[in-house]
Structure 1
Amino acid sequence: MKEIRIGAAAWGFRELTLPQQLDLVRRLGLVSLELGIANSPADVQTDADVRLLEQVKKEYEAFGISLDTAATGNDFTLKDGNAAAEDIGKLKRVIDICSFLGVETLRIFAGFTPYREVDETRFSRMIDALNTVARYGKEHGVVTAMETHGGVTAYPDGVVHFHSAATETGCLKRILRETDDSLKFVYDPANLYAIAGCDVEETAELVGSRIAYAHIKDFVKLPGGHLKPGAIGDEKRDWKRTIETVLKWTDTLMIEYEEPQDIEEGTRRSKQYLETILKEVWL
């Protein structure tokens, strides 16, 4: 029986220093932490020098946390073609950093534009960009993995998710056909649950053979219909079925509790609930 690895995604830790992040991950009994690179102010930035990067490696080693995944931010679906070109340059630099650190997988995005607004010019530009960074990553020993992430509209009391090119079935099928096999996916079922009418299991089967790892999180529906991030199990859904589906394709599960103000408690509750589900479906 293969071992299931439970780690932490970077986003919820964005208001902590790296040593604080690593200390929390260790205390919670998680094995790995995505390293944030140029996606929030506290992240390692693209102008980081060798001395700083060596310190990052030493900090991961000192806390006994695996430095095998990283995450950055980009959008290849914007109307301005120059923005995509700039993001390609940024991601190449991020890949260079990952290669230096020994990071195996870098989580990236396709973009957050509503999929109906991504015309042929923008879609082709997105495909070219994904292929460029995936092949550059392959040359440098780093797997690039695109997250299944829709677009988000924020409201005072929560958010609404909608289909982007990274979640809509027709777009995903085309991405699979037209991108290099070296481009992998970070499968995030909660991002799909959050989009009305999205078939979570169908998407998993669609991208399954190219899943690098999975994000495990939840959203809670508010009385007005908007969503807010929650711990796994906060919303009533068939998590047993979801985890069974995920485990068909990957044994690496990264908890992503998104709220920084109670990141420790939320991640702890998520881990406890996930471990309960795993006992039912895996042991």
Structure 2
Amino acid sequence: MKIGFLTVAMGNTKLEEIVEWSSKVGFETLEIATWPLINERDFSSTTIDVEKFDKKEAERVKALFEKHGLTVSSLAYYDNNLDANLEKRARVNQHLKKVIDAAHFLGVELVGTFIGRDITKSVEENLKEFEKVFKPLIAYAESKNVRLMIENCPMVGWQAEERIGNIFYSPELWREIFRITPDSFGINLDPSHLYWLGIDYLKVVEEFASRIFHVHAKDVELKRNILHEQSIFGHYGTNAHGKSWWVYRLPGFGEIDWSSFITNLKKVGYDFVVSIEHEDPVWGGDLEKSKKGLLMGLHFLKKFV
């Protein structure tokens, strides 16, 4: 397996600087952030501007990565593809197509996104919206030799307080979604979300092995003293994700059993990328702290891959 990271961790640092630093310190691959320059998402950045991306720029980027001995694991654009506001939905869907185009120019096989949710509708109704919206998006990606994948973050409170914002957070939903999608549609598997939701993050690896295209390395710390007083619905006091009883951490600073998780991935034949998604508030806030955090995550994960 190769260890990389999502470039959101370095903000809008120029691609050249990110690639040079990453190669120097021992990363092997990068998950490239491709949000619009102007967007409403937290934890987002624009490492590559797909609005201006063409074959000539792709050749420049490929040469840069080759020079430094790195690869691109995927392009990342996690936004609400089922937005209740149809104008916003159309903009997100269209930008996703531009990300797919950029991946095609680069020869990158994977693009990561969210399904999202129409917050005015039930989960069951959103599954129907999903089929309507994603059937053409998946077909478009396939026509460009690109596979779409979804991160399993529930995005609680994203569009409305206390409500799930991304209908791709549990094995039950994955089964239903994979029942109606081709094999080219898969998961960017993040164990941190499964853990605080009470889902067995080790067990899902075997069942969904063929749909695991990419893996996010993010840990999670549960504040049990707060959980015991507030219950899972507690909202008094917040962290960056709108909750008070779980905090996302760098690998090794939370409760994920990385040895068992990576061993399970190896058992089912996964041998691609483990990509650090740095949302750790202790090691965030500025570029130098983020770099230190990424290095700690890299050194920790090297023991297992």
Query: Which residue pairs with 1:218 in the alignment?
Result: 219
Does the 8 Å contact 1:8/1:25 carry over to 2?
no
- Tell me the distance in 2 between the aligned counterparts of 1:164 and 1:49: 28
Query: Which residue pairs with 1:266 in the alignment?
Result: 293
Quickly say closer, same or farther: Cα 1:260–1:16, change in 2 above 3 A.
farther
- Tell me the distance in 2 between the aligned counterparts of 1:266 and 1:176: 35
- Tell me the distance in 2 between the aligned counterparts of 1:20 and 1:228: 29
The answer for unaligned runs of 5 or more in structure 2 is 37-43, 227-243
1:57 maps onto 2:62 in alignment? yes
**Equivalent residue runs for 1:132-281 within 5 Å:** 132-153=136-157, 164-195=166-197, 197-222=198-223, 224=226, 225-247=244-266, 248-252=268-272, 253-258=274-279, 259=284, 261=286, 262-278=289-305
Does the 8 Å contact 2:154/2:167 carry over to 1?
yes
- Select the residue among 30, 51, 56 that pairs with 2:27: 30
Does the 8 Å contact 1:78/1:122 carry over to 2?
no
Give a deviation string over 1:77-115, Cα, whole Å, max 9, x none: 33234433332222112111111111121111111678x
Greater Cα shift, 166-175 or 254-263: 254-263
- Tell me the distance in 1 between the aligned counterparts of 2:255 and 2:186: 30
- Select the residue among 121, 126, 134 that pairs with 2:125: 121
Q: For residue 150 of structure 2, give the secondary structure of its aligned residue in structure 1.
A: strand
Does the 8 Å contact 2:78/2:113 carry over to 1?
yes
- Tell me the distance in 2 between the aligned counterparts of 1:260 and 1:182: 37
Report how far residue 44 of structure 1 moved: 1.9
Give a deviation string over 1:111-150, Cα, whole Å, max 9, x none: 1678x95344332111232322222111111121111221
Quickly say closer, same or farther: Cα 1:161–1:82, change in 2 above 3 A.
closer
Report how far residue 203 of structure 1 moved: 3.0
Question: Aligned AA for 1:264?
Answer: K
Quickly say closer, same or farther: Cα 1:121–1:236, change in 2 above 3 A.
closer
- Tell me the distance in 2 between the aligned counterparts of 1:271 and 1:133: 34
- Tell me the distance in 1 between the aligned counterparts of 2:264 and 2:205: 7
Q: For residue 33 of structure 1, give the secondary structure of its aligned residue in structure 2.
A: strand
Report how far residue 56 of structure 1 moved: 2.5
Report how far residue 68 of structure 1 moved: 4.0
Report how far residue 15 of structure 1 moved: 3.7
Query: Which residue pairs with 2:71 in the alignment?
Result: 66
- Tell me the distance in 1 between the aligned counterparts of 2:71 and 2:194: 28
Quickly say closer, same or farther: Cα 1:238–1:152, change in 2 above 3 A.
same
1:89 maps onto 2:87 in alignment? no
Report how far residue 161 of structure 1 moved: 9.8
Q: For residue 106 of structure 1, give the secondary structure of its aligned residue in structure 2.
A: strand
- Tell me the distance in 1 between the aligned counterparts of 2:94 and 2:193: 27
Give a deviation string over 1:174-223, Cα, whole Å, max 9, x none: 1010112211211111121132x222234333422111121112122345
Q: Percent identity?
A: 22
- Tell me the distance in 1 between the aligned counterparts of 2:107 and 2:94: 20
Does the 8 Å contact 1:113/1:165 carry over to 2?
no
Question: Aligned AA for 1:257?
Answer: H
The answer for unaligned runs of 5 or more in structure 1 is 155-159, 279-283
Quickly say closer, same or farther: Cα 1:15–1:102, change in 2 above 3 A.
same
TM-score of the superposed pair, with normalisation by structure 2? 0.77
Report how far residue 166 of structure 1 moved: 0.7
Quickly say closer, same or farther: Cα 1:11–1:103, change in 2 above 3 A.
same
